[in-house]
Chain A
């Protein structure tokens, strides 16, 4: 069953994922310019991009457990998911800088002074070496070090979810669900957990 699924998946090209991934930001930008995001489009665009980035990062974290525990191999699509997630984080950051905060002095003060922004920025910075090495040449050049470097993803995604939890007003459930999901996906990778599972 999974063998046939994997055979079918091998024949699916990766490039349409990039095209599909470009649609939501462009669509939301169009909506924002034409009133489709409500009366406060800046906040709406910023939040949607941030949430989409987290969702795609979570999808990327699912690839390994799906293969290990269910035998479904989506590894060919993982790089595209990572690059798309980074693009959404970058756009989220640009909307925050250019449309939301606007004032350069306040941007720096916010990064230094506001813990949820510090955490979000740290997550973004951690993604930079990852996106820079998301190509075949870097994989060959780094060899086994590539895998170790890319474990930074775990920390970056965790910081992203914490950033979301920290900016909620009152006790809100959605950010905690994101964080909980990520913690579970990371826990599935712990060596302790693997030893507990039947071989």
Chain B
């Protein structure tokens, strides 16, 4: 996949990024279905059965249905994307994802003209997910994007990390990656994608709309009500890891700022 990657201008812009180690990426996770501790997903997500796996694609599409993960993989072009990943909790990583563009998957299903948004849903299987016994969030986890965000060439469905299958704690077998938004927008272990004509509910916004907006674009100028978003700590720096300034749209401003032209980002946060 490497050769394919380097030929695209987007990928070239990412070359300067130094990815975190496999251990860092796969041992420090938020996946509340397995518990709220950062090490809970790595400890418990192994129980999640990811094969067979189907993704229901429905709503305003020409070809709705249950798509088997292996059939999706056979039809999609897999490439590597090295992206910054900025959590709303003010830490960050660099992850070498492999996957395909969400736009290609949506085109496969055929987007109808009336569609304006895309809704996503995570697997909910209580017998394999100890965390959902607690009402931390309203399960199943749901997320959403505006259609133009979903169709943006940076928006990825990731199926691997470092060229290996994505581990369960990182959202196997396929997850969304929207690199200019806070990490919780990048919903894991997706089982349903629905094209809609209105803004879909999103889990953290439902849980606390004052703290988590629908857009949740990385923005150093708009603080979380409880903490500053001006800086972040890069995972992997040890006990004396310095804080670094957070970049507008997580460093993808040139690519995505036009999507939000004319919007007040402190209102549509």
Contacts and interface: CB of A to CB of B under 8 A. Distances in A.
Interface string A88-124: 0000000000010111001001100011100000000
A167 B90 CA distance: 14
Contacts of B89: 169
Interface in B26-60: 27-28, 32, 36, 38-39
A36 to B, nearest CB: 11
B91 interface: yes
A63 to B, nearest CB: 31
Interface residues of A, number: 27
B24 interface: yes
A115 B230 CA distance: 18
Contact of A173 (B134, B137, B226): B134
Contact of B233 (A32, A42, A106): A42
A33 interface: yes
A106 B245 CA distance: 12
Contacts of B36: 169-170, 172
B136 A41 contact: no
Contacts of B227: 110, 114
A39 interface: yes
Contacts of A114: 226-227
A170 B88 CA distance: 13
Contact of A40 (B23, B135, B235): B235
Contact of B39 (A35, A38, A169): A38
Contact of A32 (B32, B230, B231, B239): B239
Contact of B239 (A45, A102, A173): A45
B209 interface: no
B136 A42 contact: no
B242 interface: yes
Given A32-B239, A45-B239, A39 B230 contact: no
A169 B211 CA distance: 10
A41 B160 CA distance: 26
Given A116-B226, A170-B137, A39 B23 contact: yes
Given A39-B235, A102-B243, A173-B134, A109 B228 contact: yes
Contacts of B230: 106
B228 A39 contact: no
Which label, helix, strand, loop or mixed, suits the secondary structure of the A interface? helix
B218 to A, nearest CB: 17
A171 interface: yes
B91 A40 contact: yes
B7 interface: no
Interface in B69-110: 89, 91
Interface in B204-242: 207, 226-228, 230-231, 233, 235-236, 238-242
Given A33-B239, A170-B136, A173-B134, A39 B231 contact: no
Contacts of B136: 170-172
Interface string B234-265: 01101111110000000000000000000000
B39 to A, nearest CB: 6
B92 to A, nearest CB: 11
A115 B32 CA distance: 25
Contacts of A39: 23-24, 27-28, 235-236
Contacts of A167: 226
Contacts of B226: 114-116, 166-167
Nearest to A110: B228
B138 to A, nearest CB: 9
Contacts of B243: 101-103
Nearest to B135: A171
A38 B228 contact: no
A29 B240 CA distance: 12
A106 B243 CA distance: 12
A32 B231 CA distance: 22
Nearest to A45: B239
Contacts of B135: 171
Interface of B: 23-24, 27-28, 32, 36, 38-39, 89, 91, 134-137, 207, 226-228, 230-231, 233, 235-236, 238-243
Q: Which 5 A-B pairs have the closest CB atoms?
A: A170-B136, A39-B24, A32-B239, A39-B28, A41-B239
Interface of A: 32-33, 35, 38-43, 45, 99, 101-103, 106, 109-110, 114-116, 166-167, 169-173
